[in-house]
A and B are shown apart, each in its own frame.
Chain A
Amino acid sequence: MTDIIHLEAVAMQVRRDIIRMVHACQSGHPGGSLGCTDFLVALYFDQMQLDPARFTMDGIGEDIFFLSNGHLSPLFYSVLARRGYFPVSELSTFRRLHSRLQGHPATMEGLPGIRIASGSLGQGLSVATGAAWAKKLNGDQHLVFVLMGDGEQQEGQIWEAALHAGSRKLDNLIAVVDYNGKQIDGPVDQVMPLGDLRAKYEAFGWMVTDFDGNDMEQTVRTLQQARQLAFKGTPQLLLMKTEMGQGVDFMMGTHKWHGVAPNDEQKERALAQLSETLGDY
């Protein structure tokens, strides 16, 4: 049985970590990170079959996850550390010289949990298709997850990958779009409207499910359902409605906190809204 209360407590601590990490180095991307926190916590603490103590690059015999929108690195690092991939104390080195916690996720420094570099957008779905094929060739009945941004859907490579996965019926692949409707220059609907994203993916041969990614119970239920629908002949896309900046009132409802660090006073105001559930790093 999934303990929703526990997952919410983990998510609360992860949000604190994100604010503190971005504040400490005065750089990074808090908005999208806060928005996707519930999803990534549900994935790593409840839904994925994995073994943090025995991380291998190949990930044979376990589910694997790729972060395509690499600027959500503070979220990814916090979840990995809290899940036991590396010491939480290392979160204090985020974006510092010689840290394994690079500005955007990287493999070169050997940080456990990271299997591909990301940051330049649009590449993660392609990488995920390759990892999904490797699982099929290996007879490995586990899933490949990938998270993308909604603005990222403007990259052409995404649609090459979507065509490939749909045409080739890559049914061990579950892609998630963080549908917060915001990107750096403003609302997605103004910068470059995506139109009917559900219909587009369906036309490419995907099964599409909508859900509220800031509702932990719904997120868990959606991921459980996606697992049941895997290996049935189509890749799956989860259209995840989120609020950029979720959990910190003054960061919500605007695209302005996409890539801006809070100052001292803003950090305190944010942390006052996020209780310390697991102990700060």
Chain B
Amino acid sequence: MELKIINYQDTRSGFGAGLLEAGKRNDKVVALCADLVGSLKMDAFVKEFPERFFQMGISEAQMIGMAAGLTIGGYIPFTGTFANFSTGRVYDQIRQSVAYSGKNVKICASHAGLTLGEDGATHQMLEDVGMMKMLPGMTVIVPCDYNQTKAATLAVAEHQGLVYLRFGRPKVPNFTPEDHPFIIGKADVLIEGTDISIFANGHMVWKAYEAVLRLREEGVGAELVNVHTVKPLDEEAILRSARKTACVLTAEEHQMNGGLGESIASLLAQKQPLPMEFVAVKDLFGQSGTPDELLDAYGLGVDDIVKAAKRALKRKA
């Protein structure tokens, strides 16, 4: 079983394409953006449905509150801005007006993680998944490539309930087949193996795949599972894989605190304690640099995944 690169594209463009398609399928879909239409790739939606698009200017709190209000009247609002301004800046607005009020708002966040690059730590959001997954009722999705982000956007539009959809800036390998179904809360086993389970999401899925190939050269059969939905977590798929391999590694472009690894560690601690390692940012802010330089500098490169896998294997009884 191999993954094949179709092309190189940014996940945010997958969002833009998905949003346009969602708008065509359902005239209740509306979009709001806080002065980042080009960055979020929302241009096509704006052009096709100008009457269903709201340019908010740089007022994110107003955007979230207004989105909550638009649901009262039957609309399905998608808000778009960077991950930092989608979460940390508006946490209380999301908590009260969206989550506690049970509103069908889709919070769509681009430029998440270190791979935002040169803009540096102010914009490199690494705590968003943690903040969002703590809110009762919130669904948290981190797709891995262009095709999956597009499919996720369409699934989110049909899903009744609040969603945080996280994607990124750089062009990365697009390998998910276009017709591959996206099911919220269902993890995808990409590579089967018996020695170690690697659970990854977002840009780290491809990095983990490269690590799987390296491990294979050394005779290690790693299983790669794309856990695109952090919440609700696909407990069944994770436990099935972990029980088979008895050894676990997680990889994500997020703080270790609050991320996918933490959710899986919590699951395993309760159901199946196993040796586990984490590839994630370890309680640090980011800095300026190119995406790949940053992933390497913060221990999220392919080498780091291979080393972490070996540490986990060594701990396996």
* A interface residues, Cβ below 8 angstroms from B: 57-60, 64, 106-108, 115-120, 122-135, 137-138, 140, 156-157, 160-161, 163-164
Contacts and interface: CB of A to CB of B under 8 A. Distances in A.
B191 interface: no
B66 A116 contact: no
A126 B66 contact: yes
A185 B265 CA distance: 45
Nearest to B75: A134
B220 interface: no
B72 A140 contact: no
Interface residues of B, number: 31
B30 interface: yes
Contacts of A127: 65-66, 68-69, 72, 97
B194 to A, nearest CB: 45
B83 interface: no
Contacts of B100: 106-108, 117
B162 to A, nearest CB: 13
A134 B69 contact: yes
B74 A134 contact: yes
23 contacts: A58-B72, A106-B100, A108-B100, A108-B101, A116-B68, A126-B61, A126-B64, A126-B65, A127-B68, A128-B69, A129-B62, A129-B65, A134-B69, A137-B73, A138-B73, A138-B74, A156-B61, A157-B65, A161-B62, A163-B59, A163-B62, A164-B56, A164-B57
A60 B72 CA distance: 9
B67 interface: yes
A157 B102 contact: no
Contacts of B71: 130, 134
Interface in B37-72: 51-52, 54, 56-57, 59, 61-62, 64-72
B54 A133 contact: yes
Given A58-B72, A131-B72, A123 B59 contact: no
